[in-house]
Amino acid sequence: MTKQKQSLIISFLIGFAILAGLDQWTKGLAVQSLKGQKPFVIWNGVFEFYYSENRGAAFGMMQEKQLFFFLIAVLVLGAVAYLIWKMPPEGRYRPLAVCLMMISAGAVGNMIDRVSQGYVVDFLYFKLINFPIFNVADCYVTVGAACLVFLIMFYYKDEDMACFSFKKH
């Protein structure tokens, strides 16, 4: 393995650990400061910190399906590990690595909650549009996935993505 490839993997793992740690820290703050309390209003009628325990997926769907969510997270992490391993260490692929880092950190952040508590701590609430309550890990997954779609559609060309093929070149 080249030094550039080692640097890519180490950078990915450090960023991943920082993001997952930040997610867990914010959830810890939510539990400590918001659990059993009235919502903390940031902007009246628009945004507040509102403690919630989510035993389902996004928007509260699929309640009590913890094993399913665990398996999905493991599959996501396996796919990300494959892509990072196959990824050329060139700077052109750094945005892709950051997207994958965000998605995997979000998946692990919520998986930690599911395994340790049986639910995910949510606390960010856009009251103005009555958007479902979410957390920092959800933000990572959403932003990472949206940027990934953008990169694949508009930035990378087919030949840039050939390195991830299962076919031998």
Token digits of residue 94: 């750094």
The Cα angle at residue 134 between residues 146 and 76, in degrees rounded to 5? 50
Other Cβ atoms closer than 10 A to 154:
7
Q: In angstroms, what CA-CA distances link 19 with 28, 98, 165?
A: 14, 11, 28
158 labelled catalytic: no
Q: What is the pLDDT of residues 140-158, one digit of tens each?
A: 999 999 999 999 999 999 9
pTM: 0.90
138 labelled catalytic: yes
Q: List the catalytic residue out of 23, 113, 122, 158.
A: 122
Q: In this predicted structure, what is the pLDDT of residue 64?
A: 63
Q: List the catalytic residue out of 23, 138, 158, 160.
A: 138
Low-confidence ranges of the chain (pLDDT < 70): 57-65, 168-169
CA distance 12 to 17: 9
Q: In this predicted structure, what is the pLDDT of residue 60?
A: 58
Q: What is the pLDDT of residues 23-52, one digit of tens each?
A: 999 999 999 999 999 999 999 999 999 999
Token digits of residue 48: 């507040």
